[in-house]
Every structure is written in structure tokens, then in C-alpha cells.
Amino acid sequence: SVAPLVKAPIHMDYRLRVRVAPTAFINRGCTILDMPVGDVSFGERVNIGPNVTIISVGHSMTVDKNSKRPSRGSEVIIGECAWNGAGATLLPDVDIGCHSIIGAGSPVTKNVSGYHFVVGNQAKVMGPVGSE
């Protein structure tokens, strides 16, 4: 029987909805912030570099009547043979296509098509707080 190769230590919040293919590799320092309603899936032969963060929980941009920002779960899918470089961050509701490469330190906020290489880190102003 084949089992995923996982180098300790890694951290998972709930561990309820994380699926790892038997041929996947997860390097040390990986953090998976999952929640009971947000799946995280690792495809076959996925390679996760050290200190990668995968987040399947997000928060509303608006404040509710109790001055809180409600959280919501969203799926994160890492397709087969995808490679995530050291320190990359995958945010909620992203699908990393098969054979894609995420450069080291890159935050991923949108889907990545299969067989594509993405890299970079540039924040931009989105608008005032309270607007979706």
C-alpha cells in the first residue's frame, strides 16, 4: 500500500475534510487552515514545498450586527503533479490545475490553469471596508 510522504511537523486545524492522494508529498512546516465545511484536496504526485500555507476559510468583508465578520469555508484543490514552492500561500476557493507550478512565496488568490507557472506578490487596494 502506498501512503503520502509527509515530513513533520505540519499543522492542520480540523483534519476533517483534507484529502491527500497516496502519491502526494507534503514538506515540513506546511499549515492547512481547514474548517468543517471547506475541503482541501491534494491530487496524485502533488509536491508541496516547505512552509506552504493552505487556507480554506475566509471571512466576510462586512461586519454583522454583533460586530463580527462571519467566516465561510471554501474548497482548495491542488491538481495532480502540481508543485507549490516554499512559502507559497493558497487562499480559499482556488483550484491549482494539473502540472502547474506556484513560485516560492507567491500568494494565490485565483484559479491557476493546468500547465501554467505563476509567481509574484503584489498587494493592491480593493476598496473601502464594508464593500464586497
What positions carry a catalytic annotation?
A: 59
In whole angstroms, what is the distance from residue 40 CA to residue 52 CA?
Answer: 13
CA distances, 81 to each of 9, 11, 47, 55 (Å):
23, 22, 7, 20
At 30 the three-state DSSP class reads coil
